[in-house]
Structures are given as C-alpha cells and as structure tokens.
C-alpha cells in the first residue's frame, strides 16, 4: 500500500508561516495499492482533499471516500475536490449511519446546502453515490476495510483498519479514550475497539491533538494525547505510529518538540502533508 497524507490538522485549517513544514490543511488520507497506481480509497474529506487532485494525472477520481465522522474539518474539502467534481469522475461516499433513519445524503446536506453552502452534495459533477456505513468488514476498491465505532465527542465516529492482504493500516483520526476512563496511565483506556483496529497493523495514524499535560483541561473536546497513541501502538506491536490531527495553533517548532519526547520504538512520526507511507 502507498498512503498519502494530504491534510493533517484538526478542527480548522492553520495557514501562516508557523505551520509551513507540517502543513495546515485538515484531515485527509489517500491510499493506493502500490507506487504505480493512483489512489482509489480516501479517508476523510477535510480541506486536505484539495491536494488529492494532483495525484490523478489530470484525470477524474474513480473510487471510494470513507468519512470517519461528520465534523466540519472532515467534510469541508469535499466540494473543492476537483478530481471528484468533474464529468468523468465516479465517487462512492460512505459515512457513519446515524441510527435515526436519515439517509447519508440527508445527513451530509445538513452542512452542505443553502444557506450554508451554494450547492448540495448531489449537485457535484460526475457520478456520485452516498451511503450509510455500519461497523463490520467490507471490501472497498480491493481493500478489506474493518470499521469500528470509537469514542469521540459530538456524533458517531469510526476508526478504520485497511488491508490489502499483505499489509495493514489503522486510522483513528479523532479518538477520545478518556471517555471510557483514565486507563492505566491516566491517558485513557486501551479499550477493545482500539485494540481490535490495531491488531495485525503495520502502521497507526492516530489522533494526537493533545499532549498529556493538556488532558485535564482539554480532553472534554474529544481528543487523545500523543502519549496514548504511542503506547497504543506499543501494546499492539505496531512498529510505526504517525501522530495526526494536530491542534490548529500547534506550531512547527512545537511539533518538533513533541517528536523529541519519544524513544525510537515504536518509530514515531509527526504527520505532515508531504508524507507518503509505503507499507
């Protein structure tokens, strides 16, 4: 698998000179089967999805978009995804079933339709489908994707495990394990859903919006500490963890300092918009 990190911020974009090295676009990851193919699976549609269009060699997107949840920083890039908004594009979008009988299109259109936005999702060009997604394992674009509900504030939230049969990636962009208790370290529980997603994975992309000193005052916002992400990887035997969903005011220098907190096992990487993982 070839994993392109296109947007690595959380909550809101972070423009400016203090955020150039790691980037200021919000959550989006694009996955291709190998170096010779274009991505066919996209996780989240934050403003980073704008950068995805450059990966398709001037052509339209043909593939699947999975949203982990419906917060703005994971959906606002969708109408600006040029490779998906063109006549030759084919896009299947899945989002968490809200359990209230609403269709996926109805849920998505609550934030993307007049008066909040000029058009609705079904007015994008190309062939689009919108579907609810429930937990379980399904095939998307030749990848086996396991979907598990994880705790996060303000709406049903999924984590994903993506496998091509040779390697596996775990993606938990927004995760609040302290909702389930302090856990053994005070950073949150290493709960069954998180452990199940991590089992057998080669890399973990995980919410690291906070550091442990910030948990007491800010965990209620619905996010995890970097220390939790690293320990979750260690407990799961994952050799590489990518700290993701950076706070919008966390500068490049501050992210460098966070990287310096951790030893070399597991390998700890700070997510940046130029990062490509080969699994």
The answer to whether 11 touches 30, Cβ cutoff 8 Å, is no
CA distance 173 to 204: 10
pLDDT of the residue at 264: 79
Q: Are 7 and 74 in contact (CB under 8 A)?
A: no
Look at residue 187 and give its three-state secondary structure: coil
Confidence band of 263 (pLDDT split at 50, 70, 90): confident
Query: Which residue has 């193919």 as its token pair?
Result: 37
Convert the pLDDT of each residue in 81-124 to its tens digit: 999 999 999 999 999 999 999 999 999 999 999 999 999 999 99
Q: What pLDDT shows up at residue 6?
A: 98
Residue 242 pairs in a beta bridge with 205, 269
State if pTM tops 0.85.
yes
Q: Give the domain extent around 241.
A: 2-278
The stretches of the chain forming alpha helices (DSSP H) are 104-109, 192-198, 215-218, 226-236, 252-259
| In the chain, % of residues over pLDDT 90 | 99
Residue 125 has pLDDT above 90, yes or no: yes
Mean pLDDT of 147-173: 97
Q: Report residue 274's pLDDT band, with 50, 70 and 90 as the boundaries.
A: very high
Both tokens of 53, joined, read: 């269009």
Spatial separation of the C-alpha atoms in residues 111 and 104, rounded to whole Å? 12
Q: What b/e string do you get for 196-229 counting C-beta neighbours within 10 Å, with b at 16 or more?
A: ebbeebbbbbbbbbbbeeebeeebebbbbbbbbb
Tally of structural domains, the chain: 1
| pLDDT tens column, 41-55 | 999 999 999 999 999
CATH, residue 179 = 3.60.15.10
Decide if pLDDT at 265 tops 90. Answer: no
Half-sphere exposure of 213 (CA within 13 A, CB side): 2
């Amino acid at each position: 698998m070839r994993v392109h990190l296109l947007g690595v911020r959380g909550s809101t974009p972070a423009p400016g000179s203090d955020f150039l090295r790691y980037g200021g676009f919000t959550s989006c990851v694009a996955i291709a089967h190998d170096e010779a193919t274009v991505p066919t699976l996209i996780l989240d549609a934050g403003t980073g999805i704008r950068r995805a269009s450059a990966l398709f060699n001037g052509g339209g997107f043909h593939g699947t978009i999975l949203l982990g949840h419906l917060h703005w920083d994971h959906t606002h890039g969708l109408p600006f995804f040029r490779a998906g908004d063109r006549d030759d594009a084919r896009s299947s979008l899945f989002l968490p079933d809200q359990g209230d009988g609403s269709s996926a299109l109805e849920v998505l259109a609550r934030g993307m339709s007049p008066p909040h936005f000029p058009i609705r999702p079904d007015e994008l060009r190309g062939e689009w489908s919108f579907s609810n997604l429930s937990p379980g394992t399904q095939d998307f674009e030749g990848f086996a994707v396991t979907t598990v509900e994880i705790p996060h504030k303000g709406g049903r939230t999924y984590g994903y495990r993506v496998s091509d049969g040779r390697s596996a990636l775990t993606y938990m962009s927004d995760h609040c394990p302290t909702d389930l208790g302090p856990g053994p370290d005070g950073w949150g529980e290493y709960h069954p859903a998180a452990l199940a997603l991590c089992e057998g994975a080669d890399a973990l992309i995980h919410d690291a919006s906070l550091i442990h000193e910030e948990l007491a005052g800010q965990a209620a916002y619905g996010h995890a500490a970097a220390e939790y992400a690293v320990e979750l990887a260690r407990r799961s035997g994952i050799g590489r963890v990518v700290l993701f969903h950076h706070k919008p005011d966390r500068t490049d220098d501050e992210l460098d300092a966070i990287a310096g907190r951790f030893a070399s096992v597991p390998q700890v990487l700070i997510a940046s918009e130029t990062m490509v993982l080969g699994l």
